[in-house]
Amino acid sequence: MSKVIVLGAGLSGLASAALLARAGHEVTVLERHDWLGGKSRRVTVVGQIMDTGPALVTFTGVWDKLLESYDQLGEKQSKTAREIADLEFVKLNELGRYYYKDEVTDLPVKPDHKWFEPWQRFEKEHAPLTEPITQLLTKLPLDPKALPSLAKIQKRYGIRLTTSWYLNALKWLPQDLKDIIAIHTLNAGIAPSKTLALYASMTAVMATDGIRVPVGGVNEIAQSLGKLATAAGVTINFNEEITSIKKQSVETKNGFFTADYIVSSLDPQVFKSLMTGKPALPARMRSCSGIAIYGVLAKPLPKNTVTHSVVMPDDPNDLYKKLEGNRLPNQTMAFVNYYKAQEIYPNNKPTVAVLLTAPADGGNYDIQHPWVKQEITRISNKLGLKKPITDLFEDHIVLDPAYFGSWGAPGGALYGATKPLWQSGPFHNPQYMNPLRPWLYRVGASVHPGGGIPAVLGGAMNSIAPLLKKD
């Protein structure tokens, strides 16, 4: 049995800790804050609970694989992983309602919309990639078992390596629909010209497979992973701010810890700073940040308001260009996640999250900031509201790039520094494990090549797979 220290109680850290403990290792998690989930944090506003970070769950087959792996490791327990986790997913009726220029469409596109036929063709061609993508999310890149999935995916895209390159080749697909599909690459924090073509398929795959939310909210995933970790014997230490990392040792403001192995979910720049003692500076090329506004509504929104809305900028290229230059765009992409009282969350009042894509400038923003006010007014008009949605708030909180940068990547970059295209897939840098540092494994934000809970959980399972076999 080896001693393992896991840095961070985010989703990847907790998943790694739970599996490693089930494999017989002595595992301690060091978490800077007093909550489970990392970016997936539970907040309370006037007695109503909301979750920050990811709002939706896709590829739930990855969650199933995690539970299966947990049960297969170690001695048989009195309860299965599924019973311990006690997590139930609810499938939403639509992927979302999209507002772009003068168009409004749901995804999947409905039969009465002019884009229905091209969407049907696009979905039919890409939906079969659901299983291959799930397989790739739960297997190491060079695993021979991943080759059939890679072959199916490569057959779809051919030599067209980027999202924009691939979509531009589909001459039968309306340009505005292409723009809606392409903007999902911002879930990985970067423009479609800088992301693998695989992202082009995500809307079709999600529309077919469905998107889900755990009963009680997305942070329930973190709570369930905490239950699994605790049941396996993991020790979770909160309020342990790390001050230094050395080979097989970690120092915090509260103490000193040694281990045979360290599993880090920290941003690579943050980890390097803790190793070298030099301050972490914002990378020249970095992913986007966000201005996340979580509000409790004094009354419900109009009855036709869906759970998940996406308000697009009129000029997506301006958005991509400005984000790359770490400047505020003329208009941004915004997610609006609306929950009625007693819908998903056990709240007695309606709540809404307005998530503005923003540059990773490390700045402080509130709802009175001129650019934020401009975008709130535009978004509210698109949703058909008679006044800015912030005027309907009973109370609210704002998380901005300064907040995300205070403990994550410099500047508040949600996915850290961006990498060349060839490093955004299986050959991402840093790798899960470097032979020159056999005591170190990386998961989550430490190596994360893209957005989404499945990539976080699947990446954690892939990274620690060799460590699960060690004594």
Each residue's pLDDT tens digit, 142-151: 788 888 988 8
Q: Is the pLDDT of residue 428 over 70?
A: no
Q: Is the pLDDT of residue 451 over 70?
A: no
Q: Is the pLDDT of residue 247 over 70?
A: yes
CB-based contact 6:214 (threshold 8 Å): no
pLDDT at site 94: 80
Q: Which is nearest to 264 in space by CA: 446, 414, 435?
A: 446
Q: Lowest-pLDDT range, 28-37, 64-73, 364-373, 420-429?
A: 420-429
pLDDT at site 188: 80
pLDDT at site 448: 57
- CATH number assigned to the domain with residue range 3-91+214-267+419-468, chosen from the 4 options 3.30.70.2190, 3.40.50.12280, 3.50.50.60, 1.20.1090.10: 3.50.50.60
pLDDT interval class at 272 (50, 70, 90): very high
What's the one-letter identity of residue 134? T
Q: Average pLDDT of 123-150?
A: 85
CB-based contact 57:209 (threshold 8 Å): no
Q: Average pLDDT of 446-471?
A: 82
Q: Which is nearest to 219 in space by CA: 350, 308, 309, 346?
A: 346
Q: Domain extents for the chain?
A: 3-91+214-267+419-468, 96-210, 284-405
Q: Which two tokens stand for residue 280?
A: 């972490």
Q: Which is nearest to 374 in space by CA: 397, 358, 393, 352?
A: 358
What percent of the chain is predicted at pLDDT more than 70?
A: 96
pTM of the full structure: 0.94
pLDDT at site 158: 92
What string of DSSP letters covers 387-401? S-GGGGEEEEEEE-H
What percent of the chain is predicted at pLDDT more than 90?
A: 75
Which are the contacts of 22, defined by CB distance < 8 A and separation ≥ 6?
A: 70, 73, 74, 232
Which are the contacts of 189, defined by CB distance < 8 A and separation ≥ 6?
A: 287, 288, 413, 414, 415, 418, 451
